[in-house]
Amino acid sequence: MIPLDEQIDADTMRGSDIDRQIRLIPSNGVCSLLADKWTVPVLWHLSRAENYRYRFSELKKEVGEITQRMLTLTLRNLEREGFVIRHYYPEVPPRVEYELTEVGYGALRALEPFNSWIQDNLNDIKANRQAYDQAEL
């Protein structure tokens, strides 16, 4: 929150018109998928898997506090969108492995600039959070 007695240059806060031109593209649900709590961590862990594949149980262990149901739903959604491939082996007991596709790797590569932006701006974001939280509402 900005104190009312502080002078602000609105043009500085908004940036130039050229900097602010953003071409909106319909996401067709892809942004919602990537905004899900577990999608990016699952993609990231799959990208780091030895032999580029993880069994379901290994992936669950790597991701951490995700429930079995949530991991199942996340992997199904990623498979449906073509981000991962599910490999089924009819053994006893059955074995299932998951592997990132080029689309999945592409999504992670597309997120790299955003991750860099977060790293570059994280201190400012934290300071803004703190100032907001400390302000009297």
Rama region for 91: left / alpha / beta (φ>0; ψ in -120 to 50; rest): beta
Q: Which domains does the chain have, with CATH numbers?
A: 27-134 (1.10.10.10)
Nearest residue to 78 (alpha-carbon basis) of 135, 34, 24: 34
pTM for this structure?
0.73
**Confidence class for position 33, pLDDT limits 50, 70, 90:** confident
Q: pLDDT tens digits for 61-108?
A: 999 999 999 999 999 999 999 999 999 999 999 999 999 999 999 999
134 burial via Cβ count (<10 Å: 0-12, 13-18, 19+): exposed
Task: Confirm if 24 and 30 have CB atoms less than 8 A apart.
Answer: no
Q: pLDDT tens digits for 71-84?
A: 999 999 999 999 99
**Confidence class for position 29, pLDDT limits 50, 70, 90:** confident
Q: According to the model, what pLDDT value does residue 19 have?
A: 61
End-to-end CA gap in the chain: 9
Q: According to the model, what pLDDT value does residue 14 have?
A: 52
